[in-house]
Amino acid sequence: MAKILFVMTGADQWTLADGSTHPTGFWAEEAVAPYEAFKAAGHEVTVATPGGVVPPVDEGSLSSDANGGPEQAARIRAVVETAPEFEAPIALTDVRLDDYAAVYVPGGHGPMEDLAVNADAGSILTRALGSGMPVGVVCHGPAALLAAVKEDGTNAYVGYRITAFTNTEEQLAGNAERAKWLLQDRLTQAGIKVEVGEPWTPHVEVDRTVVTGQNPASSAPLAAELLKKLA
């Protein structure tokens, strides 16, 4: 049995280019699918957020459309609302990384608001990489990698091959024109190699200890790959 640290957003609003805000949070499937996979494999999950706030769920991710129908939507909602780990997070500043065997970051637009500029999240992801610990990140979760900056000012993940929510997907979702910045662009500017798959289809990249998924459909396949690194 291993302990897996979920680094999750505490932001329930995403600031757009015109200064307005859009309701957000974490994307339910991206948290629930890996959570269930890790728990089923016998592992423990601890959630950590900025300030130890309860991670807000993006209500859009609980809709029937987002989950392939009302039955699955109800099941996902039930996990979000009853899983004790989501209800009682610790603060990122209280994380003792040596206690964990892997780090996982789910997406949603929330991480673009807070984790992308959170030094504590960045430090955790930098130290995890340096120690050889498996790191899993999905969809907009890779925004947190932008904060993983070393003392010399370079990104810790420079040269790593990852995937993330793409410019095309952001455009198809109707958010690209409203966003302050696009995740694929920022990651590329940081020196990280972003591999692009077909929109909305499962796409996972594995580079050394780093496992990334492009979109919500990639979260379950990502969890399976991360579990292989804990075997």
Q: How does pLDDT run across 158-186, given as a tens digit for each residue?
A: 999 999 999 999 999 999 999 999 999 99
102-124, pLDDT tens digit by residue?
999 999 999 999 999 999 999 99
- Please name every residue paired with 46 in a beta bridge, in sequence order, or none if there are none: 5
64-80 average pLDDT score: 96
Q: Is the pLDDT of residue 231 over 90?
A: no
Residue 134 scores a pLDDT above 90: yes
Q: What is the mean pLDDT of residues 23-48?
A: 98
> What's the Rg (C-alpha) of the chain?
16
Confidence of residue 188 (pLDDT cuts 50, 70, 90): very high
pLDDT tens digits, residue range 198-210? 999 999 999 999 9
* pLDDT confidence band for 146 (50 / 70 / 90): very high
pLDDT for 228 equals 97
pLDDT at 47: 98
- Where in the chain does DSSP place strands (E)? 3-7, 13-15, 21-23, 44-49, 90-91, 102-105, 135-138, 161-162, 193-194, 204-207, 210-213
Kindly state the percentage of the chain with pLDDT values over 90. 100
Write out pLDDT tens, residues 75-94: 999 999 999 999 999 999 99
Q: Give the closest residue to 67 by CA, choosing from 111, 13, 103, 31.
A: 31
Q: Are 178 and 17 within 8 A, CB to CB?
A: yes
Q: What's the average model confidence in pLDDT over 24-41? A: 98
* pTM, rounded to two decimals: 0.98
Distance CA 206, CA 111 (A): 21
pLDDT of residue 199: 98
